């Protein structure tokens, strides 16, 4: 007979629950069927639900490899999942909702993704073949609107189509030695940002409708999501990098004006011609500050790659200058905006262009070096 207390399961699946007594039995049964070929444990983390979910879950442990954690001092989906991670014995960790919106039959597909080398395998609504059952257009738009800031603010979530999925597996070593402290319910974001996986796969699935019970996620959770994003964006480092980039830009402005005065007043150059070297030199100082400060962690050795970055930075800056002019013209002449405001808008647009081009091109992370 197979022992359910296997000391070393390969997969630990965490189920956060709050008032899921109508679903937890079916969930355990379907998980067990779908994972028949695997040695796994199911860890239910219940926040002392008034409907008796925890007692019911405990009674399931005579039939299935179920363990139950009851928290009485804390509430919250993501923090419940973290409590489950801490007790997990498997090398692969997973998260699934109790309400069957995440079909348990899909777990083996995620398992294969990890077995084939992924650090994280996400059940994804937004890759080709993925779908959502029963959602109105309005809900879909809200969901996509909610994931966009995660894509932009977090380098770790940039290429992920469904970073807000609540159904995924990953290798435990990713989070060993890091403190997970999510606020709210987006546990995958926390794993992506702090675990820094190099290989992520997204596998399409259909997010089902909830059959029984009701969703626990309220408007307060939307606020928590924003707080969580804000906190993660500092951790992730992209905002810090952007601020450094702006400081360097401002220094370049200082260099440009200072040199212009020097060339005209001291060297006696023509006021128009003096503009040329002062502008070019400020691009050079900007490059050096960015190379040795803003992007120092992304430098690759060798004078050739250093020169290549210089050339790329130069090109980006020149195009940025063109964008600045173009936006200024559009704002001023076409939209009729006050000229100072027009220039502020133009600088903002050009700065975003410069920043993202340099992040994604000049100092891009080489995929081969990531692994």
Residues binding ligand GDD (CB under 6 A): 16-18, 20, 45-47, 75-77, 80, 97-99, 101, 164, 166, 185, 215-217
Cβ closest to ligand GDD, residue 45 vs residue 66: 45
Does residue 27 contact residue 98 with C-beta atoms inside 8 Å?
Answer: yes
Q: In the Cβ-directed half-sphere of 171, how many Cα atoms lie within 13 Å?
A: 17
- DSSP 8-class letter at 302: S
Does residue 187 contact residue 232 with C-beta atoms inside 8 Å?
Answer: no
What is the rounded distance in angstroms from the CA atom of residue 370 to the CA atom of residue 34? 34
What is the rounded distance in angstroms from the CA atom of residue 142 to the CA atom of residue 54? 33
Candidate segments 100-108, 228-236, 320-328, 348-356, binder of Mn ion by CB under 5 A: 100-108
Does residue 48 contact residue 70 with C-beta atoms inside 8 Å?
Answer: yes
Binds 185: which of Mn ion, ligand GDD, none (CB < 5-8 Å by kind)? ligand GDD
Q: How far is the CB of 217 from Mn ion (least distance, A)?
A: 8
Determine the residue with CB nearest ligand GDD.
166
Q: Does residue 119 bind Mn ion (CB under 5 A)?
A: no
Q: How far is the CB of 229 from ligand GDD (least distance, A)?
A: 13
Q: How far is the CB of 352 from ligand GDD (least distance, A)?
A: 28
Q: How far is the CB of 110 from ligand GDD (least distance, A)?
A: 14
Does residue 358 contact residue 290 with C-beta atoms inside 8 Å?
Answer: yes
Binds 77: which of ligand GDD, Mn ion, none (CB < 5-8 Å by kind)? ligand GDD
Binds 18: which of Mn ion, ligand GDD, none (CB < 5-8 Å by kind)? ligand GDD
Other beta carbons less than 10 A from residue 112's beta carbon: 14
Cβ closest to ligand GDD, residue 21 vs residue 354: 21
Cβ closest to ligand GDD, residue 166 vs residue 252: 166
Binds 248: which of ligand GDD, Mn ion, none (CB < 5-8 Å by kind)? none
Cβ closest to ligand GDD, residue 9 vs residue 76: 76
| Structure tokens given for 91 | 């090398």
> Which residue matches tokens 């001291």?
266
Binds 216: which of ligand GDD, Mn ion, none (CB < 5-8 Å by kind)? ligand GDD
Q: Does residue 47 bind Mn ion (CB under 5 A)?
A: no
If residue 122 lies in a helix (H) or strand (E), which one and from where to where? Answer: strand 120-124
- Within the chain, residue ranges assigned H as helices are 24-34, 53-60, 77-87, 107-115, 137-153, 187-195, 219-236, 238-261, 275-289, 303-329, 339-357, 367-370
| Binding-residue pattern over the window 70 to 99 for Mn ion, x denoting contact by CB under 5 A | -----------------------------x
Other beta carbons less than 10 A from residue 322's beta carbon: 12
**What does the buried/exposed string (b/e) look like for 219-254 if buried means 16 or more CB atoms within 10 Å of the residue's CB?**
eebeebbeebbeebbebbebeebbebbeebbeebee
Binds 164: which of ligand GDD, Mn ion, none (CB < 5-8 Å by kind)? ligand GDD
Binds 163: which of Mn ion, ligand GDD, none (CB < 5-8 Å by kind)? none
Does residue 114 contact residue 31 with C-beta atoms inside 8 Å?
Answer: no
Residue 254's contacts (CB-CB under 8 Å, 6 or more residues apart) are: none
Does residue 48 contact residue 73 with C-beta atoms inside 8 Å?
Answer: no
Q: Does residue 101 bind Mn ion (CB under 5 A)?
A: yes
Cβ closest to Mn ion, residue 9 vs residue 166: 166
> Which residue matches tokens 């879950």?
57
Q: How far is the CB of 221 from ligand GDD (least distance, A)?
A: 8
Binds 92: which of ligand GDD, Mn ion, none (CB < 5-8 Å by kind)? none
Q: How far is the CB of 343 from ligand GDD (least distance, A)?
A: 42
Q: Which positions touch Mn ion (CB under 5 A)?
A: 99, 101
């Amino acid at each position: 007979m197979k022992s359910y207390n296997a000391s070393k399961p390969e997969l630990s699946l965490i189920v956060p629950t709050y008032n899921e007594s109508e679903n937890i039995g079916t969930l355990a049964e379907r998980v067990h069927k779908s994972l028949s070929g695997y040695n796994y444990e199911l860890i239910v983390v219940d926040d002392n639900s008034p409907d008796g979910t925890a007692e019911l879950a405990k009674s399931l442990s005579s039939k299935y490899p179920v363990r139950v954690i009851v928290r009485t001092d804390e509430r919250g989906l993501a923090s419940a999942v973290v409590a489950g991670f801490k007790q997990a014995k498997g090398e692969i960790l997973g998260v699934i909702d109790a309400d069957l919106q995440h079909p348990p039959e899909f777990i083996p597909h995620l398992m294969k993704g990890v077995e084939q080398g992924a650090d994280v395998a996400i059940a994804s609504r937004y890759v080709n073949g993925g779908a959502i059952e029963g959602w109105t257009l309005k809900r879909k738009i809200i969901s996509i609107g909610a994931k966009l800031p995660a894509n932009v603010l977090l380098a770790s979530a940039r290429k992920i189509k469904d970073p807000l999925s609540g159904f995924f597996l990953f290798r435990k070593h990713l989070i060993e030695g890091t403190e997970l402290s999510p606020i709210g319910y987006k546990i995958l974001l926390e794993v992506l940002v702090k675990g820094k996986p190099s290989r992520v796969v997204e596998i399409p699935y259909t997010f089902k409708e909830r059959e029984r019970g009701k969703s626990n996620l309220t408007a307060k959770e939307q606020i928590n999501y924003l707080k969580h994003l804000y906190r993660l964006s500092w951790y992730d480092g992209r905002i810090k990098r952007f601020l450094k980039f702006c400081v360097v830009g401002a220094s370049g402005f200082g260099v440009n004006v200072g040199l212009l005065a020097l060339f005209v007043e001291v060297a006696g150059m023509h006021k128009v011609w003096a503009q040329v070297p002062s502008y070019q030199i400020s691009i050079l100082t900007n490059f050096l500050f960015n190379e040795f400060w803003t992007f120092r962690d992304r430098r690759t050795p060798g004078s050739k790659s250093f020169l290549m970055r210089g050339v790329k930075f130069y090109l980006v800056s020149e195009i940025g200058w063109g964008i600045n002019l173009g936006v200024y013209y559009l704002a001023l002449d076409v939209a009729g905006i006050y000229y100072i405001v027009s220039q502020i808008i133009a600088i903002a647009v050009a700065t975003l262009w410069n920043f993202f081009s340099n992040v994604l091109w000049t100092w891009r992370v080489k995929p081969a070096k990531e692994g």
